[in-house]
Structure 1
C-alpha cells in the first residue's frame, strides 16, 4: 500500500489523508458519547441510543443535498467549507450547555463528515482511470479503519484527564486539516462538470429515482448495513443478555481488535483485486461470508470461536465495501457522481436501525432469534444487489439533468 501511495499525485494523497485524519477525529469522541451524554445531561441508555442514532440518520439524509453540492461546487471550496463545519461542530459540542445545542453539533459533525467523504470518493473519478479506482477505495477504507482503531484509545486517555478534551482534540484535528488543505489543496480540482445545464435539487433527485440500478443498490446497502453497520452494538446487546457484563466486555474488546487487525492487514491486498467485471460474484462471496460469520456468532461458546467468527465476518466486510463503491462508480454519470455517492450514504440509516431492531428482538424473542433476523437482512440485501446487477439503465438521458 505504501508503495502505491508513493506513486499517487499529491492531490490524491491529501484527499486520502482526509479519510484518516477526520475519521480519527470522529473516532476519538464517538465511543465516549455514551458516557458523556449520561454524565453531562443525565440521559438514560434508551435516550442515548435515540440521540446517537437519530443524529446519524439526520446527517445521512441531509448529506443528499451535500452530494448535490459536490456536483455543483469547486471541490476545494466545498471541502474547506464542510471541514470548517466539522471543526466548529466539535468545538461547540465541548462547550454546549444544553442538550439541544449538543444535538445540533452532533448533526453538524455527521453531516460534514458524510459530505467530505462523498467529495473524496467523487474526486477519485476525476483523478484516476477506472481500473485504478478499486485500489484507491481499498486504501481509503484501510485508512478509515486505522482511524477507528486508534481513535477510541486516544479518546479514553483524554477523557480520563478532562471530559471536554476528546471534543477539543477532534476539533484540533479538524482545524489542522482545514489549514493543510487551505494551503496545499488543489484549487483547480473539479468534480463538478462544466457546461452542464442547471437543475434543481428535487429534479435531480427525481432523475436518480429513474435509475433502478441505483435504487436497488441503495436498498441493498441499507438492508445489509443493518448487519455490518454497527455490529459491535448488537453483539454487545446479545452478550449482555446471554452472559455477564465482565464477559461481554472481554469478548467485545477482543473481537473489535480482531476486526480492526483483519481489515488493516487484508483490506488493501484483497480489495485491490476486486474488479468491475465480476462485481456480482464478489458481492455474493462477501454476503456469504456474512452469513457464515453470523452463524458462527450464534454458535460461539468460547472466545476462540468468537474470534474466528469475527475474522470470517470481517472478510465479508472487506469485500462488500469496495465492491459497493465500485458499482456506484461504474453506474454514476460524471456530472452526478456526488449525488450517486450521497444516495449510497443512506446505508447509514440501516446501520442506525440495526441496534434498534436487534434490541426489540432480544426483548421479545429468544436471544438466538436475533441472528435469524440478521441473516434475513443479508439475503434481502443480496437480492437487491442481484437485481441491481441485472437491471439495465432506465430509458432517458442521464447525461442531462435538465431533461428530467
Structure 2
C-alpha cells in the first residue's frame, strides 16, 4: 500500500502537490465567503439585485482584462513572481473585505480580487503543465479540479456558520489562509528553483505578437465562445440561485449551503470515474454532453420547491461541470506551445465574460420576471454553447486529428 502511495505521489512534481494542497486550503476558505457575498450585500446593505449582480460580476470582468496579461507576463518573466505577487494581493484583498462598509468598496475590492486571481490561475495551470509529463496532464487537471471541490465541500458549511456568528470573520479567515499559502509556495518554489521563464525565446515574444498568434487559433476561439456561454449559465450558482432560494424557501440559505457542499462532495467522488469513462470519447463531445447536463440542472432550479428538487438540480449541474471544466483546461494545454502556454491559458480567461454578464442579466430577469423565467432562459442559452463546441470539434478534426482521439 505504501509503495502504491509513493508511486502515485512521484508521478507529479512536489510543486504540483503544493499547488493542489494550497488550492484545497485557499479555495475552501474562499468558498466560505464568496457564495454568501450576494446574501451579505442583500441583507446588510439592502442593494438592488442588479447592483448585487454588478458587484459580483465585476470580479470575472477584471479577470478577463487581467488573465491574458498575467499569462503573458508569466511566460516572459516566469511563473514565480506573478504567482507570489497575486497570492499576496489576494490575502490583502480579503482582509480589505473585512473592513469594507460601502457598496463602492465592495465593488473595488471584488474587482481587485478578480484581477489578482486572473494573474494566478493561468500561471498556476501553466506551471502544472510545465512540471508534468504530457501523458499525465489530463489527470493533473482533473486532480486540480477535485482539489477545488474538496475545499468547496467544507467552505460553504463553514461560511453558513460564520454568517450566523460573524459574517466579517469569514473574510479574515480567507485572508489568513491565502497568506499561509503564499509563504509555503514561495518557500517551495525557491527550494526547487522552478517557475523561471520557459526559454529565452519566450521573453522576446511581445504582447502584441502573442495576441496575433492566439487570435489566429480558431479552435481556441470556438472553445472560448462556447465557454463564455457555459460560464454565463454557471455564474447563476453564486449570484441568483441563493437569492432565488432565499425568497422561495423558508430555509433557503441552509438549503443553498447544503447544496453547495453536496455539489463539491459529488465532484470529489465522481470526478475520476466520470473522467475515466469520458476518455472513450472526443474531448469536445464530452463538453457537449456536459452542456446538456448543465442546461437540465439550470432548468430544474426554476422549479425548486424543496430538498428533493434542489438536490436533483445540483446533481445535473455537477455532472455537467465534471464533464466540461477539466476538459477545457486540457484542450487549452494541447493547443498551446511551450513558449506561449501561459498566454494561451490567459487567453482562455476571456470565458469569464460569461461570469460578468451572467449575474447582471440574471439579476434583472430574477427581479422583473421571477426565478422560473430566469432559469428557463439560462437553460436555453447553455444549450447554445453546443453550436460552438461542434464548430471547434470540426477545426480539431481538420487540423490535428490526434487531439480529438484522446
The answer to whether TM tops 0.5 is: yes
Distance in structure 1 (CA, Å) of the matches to 2:55 and 2:304: 32
Structure 1 window deviating more from structure 2 (89-98 vs 336-345): it is: 89-98
Per the alignment, residue 404 of structure 2 pairs with: none
Distance in structure 2 (CA, Å) of the matches to 1:92 and 1:250: 27
Q: Report the Cα offset of residue 58 of structure 1.
A: 1.7
1:148-227 mapped onto 2 (5 Å cutoff): 148-158=152-162, 160-185=164-189, 186-190=192-196, 192-196=198-202, 198-227=204-233
| Matched residues, number | 393
Deviations 1:20-42 (CA, angstroms, capped at 9, x unpaired): 22212322321343455467766
Change (3 A) 1:308 1:277: closer
Per the alignment, residue 10 of structure 1 pairs with: 14
Q: Report the Cα offset of residue 62 of structure 1.
A: 1.8
Change (3 A) 1:227 1:18: same
Structure 1 window deviating more from structure 2 (356-365 vs 304-313): it is: 356-365
Q: Which runs of 5+ in 1 are unaligned?
A: 396-404
Tell me, yes or no, if the aligned pair for 1:234 and 1:354 is still in contact at 8 Å.
no
Tell me, yes or no, if the aligned pair for 1:74 and 1:192 is still in contact at 8 Å.
yes
Tell me, yes or no, if the aligned pair for 2:153 and 2:263 is still in contact at 8 Å.
no
Tell me, yes or no, if the aligned pair for 1:219 and 1:384 is still in contact at 8 Å.
yes
Tell me, yes or no, if the aligned pair for 1:134 and 1:275 is still in contact at 8 Å.
no
- Specify which of 358, 361, 365 is matched with residue 357 of structure 1: 361
Q: Report the Cα offset of residue 304 of structure 1.
A: 2.2
Per the alignment, residue 329 of structure 1 pairs with: 333
Tell me, yes or no, if the aligned pair for 1:134 and 1:271 is still in contact at 8 Å.
no
1:188 is paired with a residue of what secondary structure?
Answer: coil
Q: Report the Cα offset of residue 311 of structure 1.
A: 1.3
Tell me, yes or no, if the aligned pair for 1:276 and 1:326 is still in contact at 8 Å.
no
Change (3 A) 1:4 1:50: farther
Deviations 1:210-230 (CA, angstroms, capped at 9, x unpaired): 111111111110011122233
Distance in structure 1 (CA, Å) of the matches to 2:357 and 2:368: 17
1:333 is paired with a residue of what secondary structure?
Answer: coil
Tell me, yes or no, if the aligned pair for 2:201 and 2:339 is still in contact at 8 Å.
no
Does residue 258 in structure 1 map to residue 262 in structure 2?
yes
Q: Which runs of 5+ in 2 are unaligned?
A: 400-406
